[in-house]
Amino acid sequence: MVLLYLKLKFDRVSLYMVVQGFTGFVLREVSYLQETAFQKFAQTLAAYFQGEKSPEEFTREMFDHIYANLEDDNPLDDVSERSYRGYFYGENDITALAKKIAKELDTVLFPSFVETEYDETIEDICKVFKDECPGINSDNYGKKLGERLKEIIIQAATPKRKKRKSPSAVIKADEEMKEISVLSSASPLKEKYGVLLVAEEGSVCPCDGCSKPLFMNVNGHLGLNFDVAVIDPEKPENDTNNLVAMCPECCARYSIGRAPESVQRLQEIKNHLIDLTDSRELVATQKIDEGVRRVLEKIPSISKPRDVDLNYDPVALRQKIEAKNLLLYVRTQAQVNIYFNAVHEIFQQLSKEGKLRFKPFCNQVKITYHNLKDKGYDQQRIFDEMVDWLQTSTNEERGSCEVIISYFIQKCEVFDVITE
């Protein structure tokens, strides 16, 4: 089951968590579960309240509204932005911070953090958190959410009693770890950064002309088939921006003789991987409503309207897609002409039936667009990233996801009107 998930989920967050979870099954199962609880809570709230804040800003602000110590020596100030970002994505364990603040938690300010004037949003939050926050309702949702966060922090700060393993269990665990063998050489860089680097690369070797898997099935267990190379030996080797995970063969070739052009090319590949990871993280916080899948499932069965004019020039598209993006315009024009009215009717019908929360989804689309726009991406890149986000979140056909994003371009949730 773990191996199957690794094949399906190649984004940085999912792969890192699964690998940690897999090794944690042998080494630290409880810690992994605690980390997931905070990550789930933070990312679920972010879907409603993050707005244009970065993940690290949102996470820090959330802690500010639960920690009651107003003294100058605030442990929250000692946490780096990178660590707050790691808490949000589940890459860092909150245990160390939790131990520092657990005795001085207060939920009185937390309702102001999740305050909203939209009744629909409050109703939606109560539905989403009904299992984690028993008794939650529109009157107490802020207090209940604060109590849940306090509970998560206290659980993370509480020492866990380790069960003593029997000698046979210890031997079995050792044998399992040997079977989950490293198919390449061990190194401090690999042990410290390997999982993150492999996740960043989608678990395949990023070198030109190579796409060997960096994970392999070894007797039914997960085997690691990679080494870590330092891109430029003149730069710090403990900086992940200067490290790349490769298959052992590519790593050996690169390490033997680093020609200037080889270093430059590998740095270009690394920069591209960082850019892709950043864009995935931007959209990862926006959780897709289950009802959207129902819309996507219906799109392939939509019949072409009898009176459709494929040469019709939708005003919204013409005003929003730049002239240089002709291929994007042609594609979205056809999709809007054929599908827009039918998709709009499906959205409206499912909303009336209570199977889809349309307004929150519109907000998610808009927030995702602005996050990508703020990164400086061009329109084609934004369109592709949004389609990737929708497809990854729903596991539906890419063509159907393109139709949905084109629908929102025409509906004015994606792309701004071009000013002359």
Please write the tens of the pLDDT for every residue from 29-77. 333 333 468 888 998 898 888 888 888 999 999 999 999 876 668 899 8
pLDDT higher than threshold 90 for residue 148: yes
For residues 191 and 207, give the distance between their C-alpha atoms in angstroms, rounded to a whole number: 21
Confidence of residue 308 (pLDDT cuts 50, 70, 90): very low
Q: What angle do CA 112, 113, 116 make, to 5 degrees?
A: 75
For residues 66 and 107, give the distance between their C-alpha atoms in angstroms, rounded to a whole number: 5
Average pLDDT for 153-161: 82
Q: What angle do CA 104, 107, 112 make, to 5 degrees?
A: 130
The beta strand positions in 288-357, using DSSP E, are: none
For residues 232 and 209, give the distance between their C-alpha atoms in angstroms, rounded to a whole number: 21
| Helical (H) or strand (E) element with 229 | strand 227-230
pLDDT higher than threshold 90 for residue 151: yes
Handedness of CA 51, 56, 62, 68 (dihedral sign): negative
* Residues of the chain above pLDDT 70, percent: 75
Mean pLDDT over each residue of the chain, to the nearest integer: 77
One-letter identity of residue 330: V
Confidence of residue 6 (pLDDT cuts 50, 70, 90): very low
Query: Which pTM does this prediction carry?
Result: 0.42
Task: Locate all alpha helices (DSSP H) within 257-304, ordered by sequence.
Answer: 260-284, 290-298
Cα 221 to its chain centre, rounded Å, is: 26
Closest CA to 348 of 304, 291, 306: 291
| Helical (H) or strand (E) element with 391 | helix 379-394
Query: What is the tens place of the pLDDT at every residue in 234-267?
Result: 888 888 889 999 888 888 888 876 788 889 999 9
Cα 403 to its chain centre, rounded Å, is: 23
For residues 343 and 360, give the distance between their C-alpha atoms in angstroms, rounded to a whole number: 17
Residue 153 pLDDT: 93
Residue 142 pLDDT: 93
- 17 with 93: CB under 8 angstroms? no
pLDDT higher than threshold 90 for residue 190: no
Query: What is the tens place of the pLDDT at every residue in 11-34?
Result: 333 333 333 333 333 333 333 333
**Which residues lie closer than 8 Å to 400 by C-beta, 6 or more apart?**
296, 297, 299, 300
Q: How many helices (H) and strands (E) does the chain have?
A: 19, 4
For residues 215 and 133, give the distance between their C-alpha atoms in angstroms, rounded to a whole number: 39
**Tokens of residue 190, six digits:** 């690999």
For residues 65 and 106, give the distance between their C-alpha atoms in angstroms, rounded to a whole number: 8
For residues 22 and 16, give the distance between their C-alpha atoms in angstroms, rounded to a whole number: 10
**Tokens of residue 17, six digits:** 């968590």
